[in-house]
Structure 1
C-alpha cells in the first residue's frame, strides 16, 4: 500500500476516540469494512474491522504508543491491497508488503513509525517483450508479454482480472517502469505491468481441479510415506525445538515448485534472521542460480505489531495466487499459523468479542478454512494451469495436539506431518512421527509414482508402513519383558524396522548428498531393506539363529545408501543386495 495523498479517493476524516493497544476507535469517520485508514499525526496504517453507529474500530499495523484521542484519522476508501508486478521475487517484505530492504536503506535497522514505501519499485525499468500485437483481442488474465524478473523466473504481464478486455491498438516493447502504459485497448483502457489486488479476496480462476501430481520434496519420509500433492494443503505441528522451521526451510529449498513464498508469521526474530541471512546465500539446486531468485520472503516476527501479523498470511497467499495465474506452481510456507491465530485472539479480546475455546475467537475455524481453501490446482482464466500448495506450521503449546488451532487445522488439511519432541531429543531428524502422521493424497498420487518411479511403489510403501506398525506394537512388549524374550521372527522384525528408521526415515539436512533424496533413490533404499528382510526371513526359516542373521557384514551398509551420490546409488544398491543374498545364503 502507498500512503494516502491528495489525489487518492480520500473520504471525510474522523477523530480518534480511544486507543487500546493495536485497536483504535474513531468517531465521525465515513468508512466501509476493511477500508485502509491512516491513524494519528504520524499516519499509522490501519484497517477498519468494525462499524457500529458513529463508532469505527480500526486495527493498526504499527505500534500505537503516544497516539492520543483527538488526533485525526484519514480514510483512503480502499481495502488493504498488495502491489503486484515484476520485482516481488528476491524481496523481503513485512506483513503489509512494505519492502524492508528499501526502508532499511532509508533509515537503518530501526524503522520509524508511519513510514511507507511501494511494494514494488516504481522507478526501475524492465525489458518488456510483447506476445500480442495490434488487432489481437484480449480478455482478463490473458498474457500480454514477458519480463525477465530474475535469473530463474520470467514474469508474465497479464490483463488485470477487472478489465473489460478488448482489441489491442498499441503495444510498447522495450524498457518501461511498472506504471507506464505498455498496451492500449480500443476502449481506451491503458494497461501497465502493475496490478493491485485486495488481500482478503481470492483471485479468480476458471476451475479448481483434483491434484494428481506430487510436490516432490526431496525428503524421504514425506515423499515416501506421506506425500503432498501440488495444490494440496499440509500441516506441520510440533512443540518447541522439534524442527518445524528447519523442515519448512528444507521444503522451500528442495520442493519442485517454481516459486516459493515464505511467511515468517510471528516467529522469533533470530529464526527469521537466519532465514533472511541464509536464503540469499543458497543455490537453487535445479537452476544453479540463487534460491532467492524464485523466492519472496515475508518477515513478521513476534516483536512486530500484532495486527500486521494477522494480515501477513493474506499478503503471502495473494502474491502466491498472482504467480499461479501466470501458470507457475507455487509453494507457500506459513511459519506459524498458531502465531497468526494468537494475533486474532488478541485483537478479538480487545474488541470484547465472545471468546471461543481457550480464548480464541469463535470464527477461528472459518478463518483457517478461508486461508487453506485458497490453495489448489487451478485452470486459470487465461487457459494456463497453476497451483498453490500451502504448508502451515502449527506450534501447539506444550506439544498438545488437542488444542484448537491444531484440531481445526486437522479438519481442513489433507496431509499431516506430526513432529515429535522425543524423536528430536534422540537426534532423529526430520522428527516426523510415522505413527501419527498421514496423507489423504496417497491414492490419487499413486498413478504418478507408478508411472514415474516404479510400478510397485504403493506396495513397497505399504510394506514399510506395516513393518513400522508391527514394531510399534512389539515395543510395548519389549518395554515389559525385554527384546530377548520375543520369538526370533519378531526380533528380526524389530531389526528390519530399525533399518527402515535409520536408513530411510532419518535424513541429514546438513549433508551435501543426503539433504535431498529423489523418489527413485528413496525407492532403492526401501527395496534394499526389503531384500534384506526377505533373505533374512528365509535364513531364519532354514534354522539359522537370529543373531547370525542380523550379524552379517553387509547389513550395516544399508545406512550408507542415503549418503551415496545419486548417480552411484544404483550400482551401490545392486552390489549390496548381491552381498546380502550371498552372506545370508552361506549361513544355511
Structure 2
C-alpha cells in the first residue's frame, strides 16, 4: 500500500469509524481498521476524510489507529465449495471459524470463503485453441451428488484457450490460460471474485413463464411465484413468516437454494442447520443440504454486516444462475436489513425520511429485487437460468403501511399477506386469501404436462377463489341475521368454503405427508372438494336438505385426503366415486331425469 492509502482514525461512532488521510480511496473500498484488522467498507467520502462502515464490534478502537485501504470493493469468492457451506454476512465460513477459534470467534478473523487446500476433479469441456468469451463454460467439477459446478470464463476476459488439462486442482491453481488478441494473458482458475453490490452481467432477460413449485397448496394453487419471480411475506410476530421461508427452502422446485438469515434469531438458523442434512430432496432422495448455501447474520451478530449479508447471498445466487440453474433466494428478513441501513444512516448523520429510514431505502430495496429474473445466460453453450427472490418482512405490529412493506410491494409481483387472526386459529400457512395476490397465476396451467388438466386447474382455482370471497360476504350476513336466513345454496357455499379452508388451504408443515403436496395431488384434492360441491348443488336442486348432505360419511374422506401419500394418489379419485355413490339417494328426481 502507498502512504496515500493509509489513514488514521479520528472518530468512532458505533459501527461507523471516521478516518482522515484517505485521499485516493474510492467509495465502497474495503479497508482494515486498527491493530485488530477489523474489516470495513467506505460508505462516505468528503475530501480526504472517509466514513467507514465496520462489520465487527468497534469497542477498543481509538483515535490514531491505522486504516489501510485494500483498494478493492467488498467481494465474494465464487467457485467449488460453496454448496453445503454456512457463511456469515461477509462470506467467512463459520464451520472453519469454529474449528480454528471455538464457539466464540475473535474480532478481525480472516478466513477465506473457499477452502484453499481441497482438490477438485476438473473435467474440461473445451480444448486448446478454443476461442472463448465472458460466461463461456470451459469445464465442470462435481461439487456434490446433486450439483455439477460449471467453471466459467470471468466477465471481461476474452481470448483463446491453451494448456487446459483434466486433473485435480485447488481453487487457486490455474486450470487453463486465456490469451487475448492484444497479447494479454489471463490465468483461469476454478475460483473467481465478484463485488457484491454489482449485479452479474447477463445475456438478456426472459419472460417468467414457469411456476416455481413449492409443495404448499395455498401458494402453488392460488398465489404462485414463477421461476425468476419476486415475492414478499409480511406479517406480524408469530404468524409463521419463518416457517413459510423454511418450507420454501426445503421443498421448492429449484436446483440451488440460498437462505439468508438476516437479523433473525439464532435458534431459527440452528433449525435450518440441523434439519437440512436430515431432510430428503423429494426429487432425488438426497439430503437437501447438498443443494443449499446458508448465510447467517443473526440478531446477536454485528449489525453492519447485516446490511452486506443480502448482497452476499444474492451474488452467490446469481453465480449459480449464470451456470444455467434455477435458484431460489430466501431473505429472512428484509426489515432487519432496512433497520441496519437506518442505523448506519443515522451514524452518518444523513437526513432521515419516513420513520427514520434513509431517503434511499426504496431505491436499495428495488435494486435488490431487480437482480431476480429468468435470463438467457452470458456465454456458451446457450442456457437459461432463473433467480427467484422471496423476502420476509417484519413490520412493527404487523402494520402493512410500514415503509419497508410499501417499498417492497412497489417492486415485487407476489404478496403473501400473513394474518394474525388465522395464526391464532392455528391455521397455517396463515396466508390471507382475501388480501394476497400474484401476477403469475396465468402461468399455472403450464405446470401440468396434460394441457386439459392444466386448463381445468385454472378454472377450479377461479371457482374456489370465488367461493372463498363469497364466504366473506355471507359471514357478515350470518352475524347480522343468523345462518337460518340463508338459502340452501348459500349454506352450501359456506360449507364448501370451510372445506376449502380446513381440508385444502390448511397444511401441516410438521406432518411427513402433508408437508409437501405435488401439483398432481393438488389438482386431485381441489377437484374432489369442488366435485362434492357440484354434486351437492344437484341434490339441492332435487329438493335435498343441506343437513342431509352435510352428514354424509364421505366428507371425512375428503378431510383425510391431504394425508394420502403421493405413492397412493389413486385413492383420491376413489373418494370422488364415493361422493357420487352417497349422493345418488339425495338426487332423487334429478338422477332419474
TM (norm. structure 2) is 0.96
The Cα shift of 1:480 comes to 2.4
Q: Where does 1:248-259 land on structure 2 (aligned, <5 Å)?
A: 248-259=245-256
Q: Where does 1:365-514 land on structure 2 (aligned, <5 Å)?
A: 365-382=362-379, 383-449=382-448, 451=450, 453-514=453-514
Hey, what's the Cα distance between the residues in 2 that align with 1:207 and 1:103? 39
Q: Where does 1:531-550 land on structure 2 (aligned, <5 Å)?
A: 531-550=531-550
Deviations 1:221-246 (A, max 9, x none): 11100111000000011111111111
Deviations 1:36-92 (A, max 9, x none): 001111110000000012221000000111111111101001000000100011000
- Could you tell me whether the CA contact under 8 Å between 2:329 and 2:388 is conserved in 1? yes
- Could you tell me whether the CA contact under 8 Å between 1:266 and 1:336 is conserved in 2? yes
Secondary structure of residue in 2 paired with 1:456: helix
- Matched with 1:568 is 568
With over 3 angstroms needed to count, the CA separation of the structure-2 counterparts of 1:486 and 1:249, relative to structure 1, is same
The Cα shift of 1:185 comes to 2.4
- Matched with 2:138 is 144
2:17 pairs with 1:14 = no
The Cα shift of 1:220 comes to 0.6
Secondary structure of residue in 2 paired with 1:381: coil
- Matched with 1:5 is none
* Further displaced range: 31-40 or 543-552: 543-552
2:81 pairs with 1:87 = yes
Deviations 1:510-559 (A, max 9, x none): 11111110111111111111111111111111111111111111122111
The Cα shift of 1:391 comes to 0.3
The Cα shift of 1:151 comes to 1.6
Hey, what's the Cα distance between the residues in 2 that align with 1:199 and 1:435? 38
Q: 2:296 aligns with which of 277, 296, 299?
A: 299
* Further displaced range: 454-463 or 41-50: 454-463
- Matched with 1:312 is 309
- Matched with 2:97 is 103
- Could you tell me whether the CA contact under 8 Å between 1:231 and 1:376 is conserved in 2? yes
Secondary structure of residue in 2 paired with 1:149: strand
The Cα shift of 1:268 comes to 1.0
Q: 1:182 aligns with which of 156, 175, 181?
A: 175
5+ residue gaps, structure 1 = 1-7
Secondary structure of residue in 2 paired with 1:480: helix
Q: 1:359 aligns with which of 356, 359, 374?
A: 356
The Cα shift of 1:450 comes to 7.5
Q: Where does 1:17-416 land on structure 2 (aligned, <5 Å)?
A: 17-30=10-23, 31-163=25-157, 165-187=158-180, 188-382=185-379, 383-416=382-415
Secondary structure of residue in 2 paired with 1:504: helix
Deviations 1:406-461 (A, max 9, x none): 11111110011111111111111111110111101112444444856433121110
The Cα shift of 1:569 comes to 2.0
Hey, what's the Cα distance between the residues in 2 that align with 1:250 and 1:393? 13
Number of residue pairs aligned between Structure 1 and Structure 2: 579
State the Cα RMSD in Å: 1.3
With over 3 angstroms needed to count, the CA separation of the structure-2 counterparts of 1:309 and 1:193, relative to structure 1, is same
Secondary structure of residue in 1 paired with 2:77: strand
With over 3 angstroms needed to count, the CA separation of the structure-2 counterparts of 1:9 and 1:88, relative to structure 1, is farther
The Cα shift of 1:11 comes to 5.4
- Could you tell me whether the CA contact under 8 Å between 1:10 and 1:74 is conserved in 2? no
Deviations 1:108-160 (A, max 9, x none): 01110011110101121100011111121111111111101112101111111
The Cα shift of 1:499 comes to 0.7
- Could you tell me whether the CA contact under 8 Å between 1:233 and 1:414 is conserved in 2? yes
- Could you tell me whether the CA contact under 8 Å between 1:147 and 1:154 is conserved in 2? yes
Hey, what's the Cα distance between the residues in 2 that align with 1:389 and 1:9? 43
Hey, what's the Cα distance between the residues in 1 that align with 2:322 and 2:446? 27
Hey, what's the Cα distance between the residues in 2 that align with 1:199 and 1:573? 49
- Could you tell me whether the CA contact under 8 Å between 2:165 and 2:176 is conserved in 1? yes
With over 3 angstroms needed to count, the CA separation of the structure-2 counterparts of 1:10 and 1:525, relative to structure 1, is farther
Secondary structure of residue in 2 paired with 1:76: strand
Hey, what's the Cα distance between the residues in 2 that align with 1:9 and 1:270? 45
5+ residue gaps, structure 2 = 589-593
With over 3 angstroms needed to count, the CA separation of the structure-2 counterparts of 1:351 and 1:186, relative to structure 1, is closer
